[in-house]
Amino acid sequence: MSPSPTHPIVIATRESRLALWQAEHVKALLEARGHSVQLLGMTTKGDQILDKSLSKVGGKGLFVKELEVALEEGRAHIAVHSLKDVPMELPEGFALACVMEREDPRDAFVSPRYENLDALPQGAVVGTSSLRRQVLLQALRPDLKIEPLRGNLDTRLRKLDEGQYDAIVLAAAGLKRLGLEARIRTTFEPNAMLPAAGQGALGIEVRSDRQDLIDALAPLAHQTTWLTVAAERAVSRAMGGSCSMPLAAHGTFTQGVLQLDAAWGDPEDKAPLVRAQASAAVTTLAQAEALGDAIAQRLRAGGARGITPA
């Protein structure tokens, strides 16, 4: 059934404040183009399991499964995701219909007492449940104590303010979208803390047979962002397909040339990070993904393992 004023587009969304902001953002853009839109708020398994790291309970795909079920059953028509939470391989019958213009992809250092990572005392406690952030922090400051930090953005900030951590590391994009930029003490440059594949970008998922919805979403797409994140996600896909791997991948476009940087580390090992870099002229998704595949081969050649630690 095609979207119309009498048959609105229903957006499946998680109910965290950030997820609702993202869904409302897409809703407003679609309504500005004449579509009728409603939201369907949902709680996912990833929102419910807060006492274990994502890498031990199924990865970030736990944040999207229930939304996909709603699409499958027709209760919703599209799902808005933080792209870094979307598995590298979508289930059969689903498609990424749109990637929107990226917000700041960098990581943010947040602390009530310390200005930056260098200012932390030896042995300070830093919160993150991201294996990527863990290995990058270990490379920068091996003396720090990295502790798990789960929950939505507001929950993480509350735990910091309660004194459970000396500092936490969060995506700058989420803080900026919620008007919390003042909480950012400093933003890590990518050469210090390489972002996750797709970080800062929003992706919209649909059933692959819904060409009407794909067409309706086309004006919201940002081609440069889409090509960039396709290359980043190709690195992760080639390394095993999990967005809970200790893997970073970040691309930057300059005059049609995409430079792609990646890093992999072992959370249980103090060995140096494995890094890889390459660039190529990119105008198609196939070219972007080929660049990502090449980077993954270089990481493996350097000793990176394409598995998710248990």
pLDDT at 257: 97
What would the pLDDT profile of 250-308 be if each residue is shown by its tens digit?
Answer: 999 998 999 999 999 988 877 789 999 999 999 999 999 999 999 999 999 999 987 54
How far apart are alpha carbons 104 and 107 in whole angstroms?
Answer: 9
Query: Is residue 88 predicted with pLDDT exceeding 70?
Result: yes
pLDDT at 52: 46
pLDDT range class, residue 120, cuts 50, 70, 90: very high
pLDDT at 242: 62
Beta pairing, strands 9-14 & 37-42: parallel
pLDDT at 199: 95
Q: Which residues pair with 11 in a beta bridge?
A: 39, 78
CB 210 within 8 A of CB 79: no
Mean pLDDT of the chain: 89
Token pair in block for residue 170: 């969060």
pLDDT at 150: 82
pLDDT range class, residue 85, cuts 50, 70, 90: confident
pLDDT at 58: 46
Choice among 87-91, 100-104, 105-109, 202-206 with the minimum mean pLDDT = 87-91
| CA-to-CA separations, 219 to 7, 119, 206, 256, 288, in angstroms, rounded | 20, 45, 15, 21, 21
Active-site residue list: 85
- The secondary structure of the chain as a DSSP string is ---BTTBPEEEEEE-SHHHHHHHHHHHHHHHHTT--EEEEEE--HHHH--SS-HHHHT-GGGGTHHHHHHHHHTS-SEEEEEGGGS-SSPPTTEEEEEEPPP---SEEEE-SS-SSGGGSPTT-EEE---HHHHHHHHHH-TTSEEE---S-HHHHHHHHHTTS-SEEEEEHHHHHHTT-GGG-SEE--TTTSPPPTTTT-EEEEEETT-HHHHHHHGGG--HHHHHHHHHHHHHHHHTTS-TTSSEEEEEEEETTEEEEEEEE--TT--SPPEEEEEEEE--SHHHHHHHHHHHHHHHHHTT---S---
| Higher-scoring residue by pLDDT: 268, 205 | 205
pLDDT at 237: 92
59 closest CA partner among 210, 257, 196, 260 = 196
CB 197 within 8 A of CB 225: no
pLDDT at 151: 86
Q: Is 32 exposed, middle or buried (0-12, 13-18, 19+ CB in 10 A)?
A: exposed
Q: What is the mean pLDDT of residues 199-223?
A: 96
- The residue assigned the tokens 């494995």 is 274
In percent, how much of the chain has pLDDT > 70? 89
Query: Is residue 81 predicted with pLDDT exceeding 50?
Result: yes
pLDDT at 12: 95
pLDDT at 61: 53
Query: Is residue 19 predicted with pLDDT exceeding 90?
Result: yes
pLDDT at 62: 62
pLDDT at 293: 96
pLDDT at 188: 97
Query: Is residue 175 predicted with pLDDT exceeding 90?
Result: yes
pLDDT at 86: 87
pLDDT at 152: 87
What would the pLDDT profile of 47-64 be if each residue is shown by its tens digit?
Answer: 444 444 444 444 445 668
Q: At what angle do helices 17-32 and 153-161 cross, to 10 degrees?
A: 140
Query: Is residue 182 predicted with pLDDT exceeding 70?
Result: yes
Q: What is the mean pLDDT of residues 212-225?
A: 96
164 closest CA partner among 127, 110, 109, 131 = 127
Is the model's pTM score more than 0.85? Answer: yes
Query: Is residue 309 predicted with pLDDT exceeding 70?
Result: no
Query: Is residue 244 predicted with pLDDT exceeding 80?
Result: no
